[in-house]
């Protein structure tokens, strides 16, 4: 069972998402404003957020930036009636998992949720697997898995971090560059910053 | 005929209704309370005021005879389309688009004129004719006229 937050000022949208996600056995909390949702995130981090772009006071883009500033990596699915390419590009740049246009079907909602759960699970699982291979010095296998990892998660800091671990003894300069890339994607990435410090010493 | 195709959850049917008049709004309210995901399309914003508080679906403001409106309502994803505007010609055109262009399995349309029923049926559209329904009801009310019951 996952914890799902819904942020939308339209009652009907909150109801539809709540009903569909609860039918799947998830716990769902709905919020009218982004401020309320942020407060809830601080108290209890959800596994997934469905969010509208047009919200009273703080809008969806500000909300995503705020999540990023506070170093949360929660999968977000945007549900919006706004379909301009600029808006869609802007929110994808901020790392959302999917974009659903209103009206949406329950099947579309379920697919978006499955996609985000799969992404998150796959990211963590693959990070663990590649790390294990590096620790066991199975470099060739780790390197081949990393290539796919880069292609599947280009905006994640983990492929850069793992690549740095893989090559740090043979090529510390390039490893440092990848650690910096990982830190530019996630400033709060503690392991990356401590590895970088070690390399710079 | 079963109400719906495939193994979709009963409460996850996606129903698009064209026309938010007395019939359309009532159907939208009822389907909403049944848990269906409902989209109502009408060209008049005021028409949506007929939707009740229980209505949990979406409203799309637009002309049903325009393809863009049908696309905006995501007719291609609909399990059922109900075409309930007050005009038979509009209903035929929208129902045909839903059936032929968007390949919706179940399309139900209203035809006021009983002479138009065949035209709808030719395209596999299911028809509700208020005139014939009223005739049947009145016949039932007036069952005693034959005098045989005595």
A152 and A100 in a common domain: no
- What is the residue extent of each domain of chain B? 10-146
Q: Which of A170, A150, A172 is nearest to A162 (CA)?
A: A150
| Strand order across the A3-7 sheet | A27-31, A3-7, A48-51, A76-80, A98-101
User: Are residues A23 and B60, on separate chains, in Cβ contact within 8 Å?
Assistant: no
pLDDT averaged over chain A?
A: 88
Question: Does B11 contact A at CB distance below 8 Å?
Answer: yes
User: Are residues B77 and A105, on separate chains, in Cβ contact within 8 Å?
Assistant: yes
Q: Is the pLDDT of residue A176 over 90?
A: yes
CATH number at residue A24: 3.40.50.2300
- Chain B residues touching residue A19 (CB < 8 angstroms): 11, 35, 56
User: Are residues B74 and A104, on separate chains, in Cβ contact within 8 Å?
Assistant: yes
Rounded to a whole number, what is the distance in Å from the CA of A13 to chain B's nearest CA?
7
- Chain B residues touching residue A23 (CB < 8 angstroms): 9, 11-12
Q: Is the pLDDT of residue B34 over 80?
A: yes
pLDDT of residue B7: 44
Residue A182 lies in a domain: yes
Residue A84 lies in a domain: yes
Cβ neighbours, 10 Å, residue B125? 25
A148 and A192 in a common domain: yes
Chain B interface, best mutation among A102, A103, A112, by max B CB count within 10 A:
A103
Helix (H) or strand (E) holding A164: helix A158-167
What range does the domain containing A154 cover? 137-200
Residue A169 lies in a domain: yes
SS3 B96: helix
A93 and A34 in a common domain: yes
Question: Does A108 contact B at CB distance below 8 Å?
Answer: yes
pLDDT of residue B11: 61
Distance between CA atoms of A164 and B53, rounded to whole angstroms? Answer: 57
A166 and A110 in a common domain: no
| This prediction's pTM | 0.72
A82 and A146 in a common domain: no
User: Are residues B74 and A23, on separate chains, in Cβ contact within 8 Å?
Assistant: no
Residue A130 lies in a domain: no
A95 and A163 in a common domain: no
pLDDT of residue A120: 74
pLDDT of residue B148: 54
- Chain A residues touching residue B55 (CB < 8 angstroms): 12
| ipTM passes above 0.90 | no
Chain A interface, best mutation among B4, B5, B12, by max A CB count within 10 A:
B12
Percent of chain A with pLDDT strictly greater than 70 = 100
- As a whole number of Å, the CA-based R_g of chain B is 17
Residue A143 lies in a domain: yes
pLDDT of residue B4: 44
A8 and A84 in a common domain: yes
Residue A102 lies in a domain: yes
Average pLDDT over residues A1-30: 91
A147 and A82 in a common domain: no
What is the pairing mode between strands A76-80 and A98-101? parallel
DSSP state of A58: S
Distance between CA atoms of A149 and A72, rounded to whole angstroms? Answer: 21
Give the dihedral of Cα atoms B102, B103, B108, B113; nearest 10 deg.
70
A48 and A9 in a common domain: yes
Cβ neighbours, 10 Å, residue A69? 10
Residue A87 lies in a domain: yes
Average pLDDT over residues A184-191: 84
Q: Is the pLDDT of residue A178 over 90?
A: yes
A25 and A92 in a common domain: yes
SS3 B78: coil
Question: Does B26 contact A at CB distance below 8 Å?
Answer: no
User: What does the pLDDT look like over B80-97, one tens digit per residue?
Assistant: 999 999 999 999 999 999
User: What does the pLDDT look like over A48-86, one tens digit per residue?
Assistant: 999 999 898 899 999 999 888 887 778 899 999 887 888
CB nearest B58 (choices: A103, A106, A107)? A103
- Chain B residues touching residue A8 (CB < 8 angstroms): none
pLDDT of residue A96: 84
Cis status of the peptide bond prior to A103, with omega within 30 of 0: yes
Average pLDDT over residues B130-136: 93
Q: Is the pLDDT of residue B5 over 60?
A: no
Give the angle A114-A115-A117 at the CA atoms, nearest 5°: 65
Model confidence at B110, in pLDDT bands (50, 70, 90)? very high
CB nearest A107 (choices: B11, B12, B55)? B12
Distance between CA atoms of B101 and A74, rounded to whole angstroms? Answer: 39
Q: Are A71 and A188 in contact (CB under 8 A)?
A: yes
User: What does the pLDDT look like over A116-141, one tens digit per residue?
Assistant: 887 777 777 788 889 899 999 999 99
Structure tokens at B81: 């389309």
| Domain B10-146 of CATH type 3.40.920.10 | no
A70 and A109 in a common domain: yes
Residue A131 lies in a domain: no
Model confidence at A115, in pLDDT bands (50, 70, 90)? confident
Contacts of A176 (CB under 8 A, 6+ apart): A164, A196, A199, A200
A164 and A78 in a common domain: no
pLDDT averaged over chain B?
A: 89
Structure tokens at A110: 């379920």
Question: Of the residues A120, A147, A180, which one is the last residue of a structural domain?
Answer: A120
CB nearest B12 (choices: A12, A15, A106)? A106
How many domains are there within chain A? 2
Residue of A nearest to B60 (CA): A103
């Amino acid at each position: 069972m996952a914890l799902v937050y819904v942020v939308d000022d339209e009652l009907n949208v909150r109801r539809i998402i709540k009903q569909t996600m609860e039918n799947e056995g998830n716990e769902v909390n709905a919020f009218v404003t982004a401020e309320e949702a942020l407060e809830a995130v601080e108290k209890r981090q959800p596994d997934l957020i469905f969010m509208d772009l047009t919200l009273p006071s703080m809008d969806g883009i500000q909300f995503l930036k705020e999540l990023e500033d506070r170093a949360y990596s929660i999968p977000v699915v945007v549900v919006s009636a706004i379909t301009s390419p600029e808006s869609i590009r802007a929110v994808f740049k901020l790392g959302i998992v999917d974009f659903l246009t209103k009206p949406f079907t329950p099947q579309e909602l379920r697919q978006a949720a499955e996609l985000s759960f799969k992404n998150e699970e796959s990211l963590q699982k693959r990070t663990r697997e590649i790390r294990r291979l590096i620790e066991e010095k199975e470099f060739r296998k780790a390197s081949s898995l990393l290539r796919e990892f880069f292609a599947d998660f280009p905006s994640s800091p983990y492929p850069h971090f793992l690549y740095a671990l893989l090559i740090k003894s043979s090529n510390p300069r390039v490893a440092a560059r990848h650690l910096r890339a990982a830190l530019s994607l996630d400033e709060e990435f503690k392991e990356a910053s401590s590895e970088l410090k070690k390399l710079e010493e | 005929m079963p109400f719906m195709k495939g193994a979709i959850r009963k409460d996850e049917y996606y129903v698009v209704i064209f026309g938010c008049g007395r019939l359309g709004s009532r159907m939208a309210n009822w389907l909403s309370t049944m848990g269906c995901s409902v989209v109502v399309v009408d060209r008049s914003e005021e028409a949506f005021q007929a939707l009740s508080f229980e209505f949990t679906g979406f409203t799309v403001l637009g002309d049903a005879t325009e393809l863009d409106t049908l696309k905006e309502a995501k007719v291609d994803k609909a399990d059922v389309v109900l075409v309930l505007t007050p005009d038979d010609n509009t209903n035929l055109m929208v129902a045909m688009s839903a059936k032929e262009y968007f390949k919706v399995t179940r399309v139900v349309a209203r035809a006021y004129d009983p002479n138009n029923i065949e035209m709808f049926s030719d395209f596999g559209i299911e028809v509700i004719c208020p005139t014939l329904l009223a005739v049947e009801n009145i016949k039932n009310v007036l069952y005693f006229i034959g005098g045989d019951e005595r």
